[in-house]
Amino acid sequence: MPKILSKFLIKVLILAGFFLFAESSFAAVIFRDNFEYAVGREDSSAASLFVSQGGWSYVKTYQSGATGSCGYLYTTPSVPGYIGSFPGASSARVLAVEARPASGTGCPVPPGFPGAQTDVYLQLGSEVGPDTTIPENGWIQFWVYSNYYGNELSTYASRNKFLYPCPGTYPCTNLKWLWMTGSGGCNDPSVSGSNRDQFICIESPTANRSNASDDAWRWRLGQNLNTDTKIRANTWTLVKLHIDTSGSQGRYEAWLKTVSGSWVKVSEYIGGVTPSFTWSVTPGGQRLLRMPTVINYNDSWQYMDDFVIAQTEADLPTYGSGSSDTTPPAAPTGLSVN
């Protein structure tokens, strides 16, 4: 074989091995948006920009004509009062979720409710698509920051919808689970605290905590491992969720982490394993996801960075003191074979 041809084949094999490694290592990342694109708060094309630049399927936000949304979605290079770099890898912009149910225009109060609600969201997936938008055994991770500074004095009702998936059509009549945040959360009895901070929790109509104080709390799964750790005002917090509905019994696990802190597992519910708990589920994933949808009563300004849905925990980005992540490196150039 000519020497020049052998060199060429060696280069091809090196490149092929690199790309095979990258593909196999990162193929299980189902969706990722680091929000590194410009969407203005007053930009009427905001909804279409999130679709074209971020990969979302549909968006509802006030500046794009959704007058009943009572909230704004946009990206920003700065957060009022915050000094420092964003926590995502090489992050220059973050998503702003500005909820204005208390002071927004055209925000009616639903019958039987004490205040107005938002209807603002990024949507992923399709009502007629496959149920793999969120896999039946999947992981979700994102950074979140709740601002309490200047004109952005965020406070929260007891519970707010934040991740609203559905295996069918909206409004979801066959809901598997609904992930929520709020000043009260789903703790039993509800743990009191500052309305500037948020607990996390999940609800499912088929979950059953037989040791709940009353029937209203049986299907609400709060922070059963740790209630001291939560999403605190003016603190970047990394949220990691594992939700498994691939078998006959569901599983929910949740962790929280600050930029300089370590992971704290705050929730664990395993159907048929956790004492006094069962969670009968129909195996399968979710066709749709909306984020955040309904934020109740109070105005708030939340910021998000690096939202990821993955098949396995190993495929989630990791962050150290330098905010490094697991984005695959660029293909090598200038290779030579002697």
Name, in order, each residue with C-beta under 8 angstroms of 284's C-beta and a sequence gap of 6 or more: 131, 136, 167, 176, 245, 246
pLDDT band at 20 (very low <50, low <70, confident <90, very high): very low
- Over residues 177-207, the pLDDT tens digits come to 999 999 998 987 767 789 999 999 999 999 9
Task: Identify the pLDDT of residue 14.
Answer: 43
Structure tokens at 10: 């060696």
**pLDDT at residue 76 greater than cutoff 50:** yes
Residue 17: is its pLDDT beyond 70?
no
Could you report the per-residue pLDDT of 284-317, keeping only the tens digit for each?
999 999 999 999 999 999 999 999 999 999 999 9
Nearest to 213 by CA among 190, 193, 185, 192: 190
Q: Which residues contact 72 (CB under 8 A, 6 or more apart)?
A: 41, 61, 62, 63, 96, 98, 100, 120
The whole-chain average pLDDT of the chain stands at 89
Q: Tell me if 153 sits within 8 A of 300, measured CB to CB.
A: no
Lowest pLDDT segment from 57-61, 124-128, 147-151:
124-128
Q: Which domains does the chain have, with CATH numbers?
A: 29-315 (2.60.120.200)
292: helix, strand or coil: strand
pLDDT at 167 over 60: yes
- Using CA atoms, how far apart are residues 181 and 160, in angstroms rounded to an integer? 5
Could you give the percent of the chain with pLDDT greater than 70?
86
pLDDT tier, 176 (very low <50, low <70, confident <90, very high otherwise): very high
Coil, helix or strand at residue 271 = coil
Q: What is the mean pLDDT of residues 121-132?
A: 94
Longest alpha-carbon distance in the chain: 83
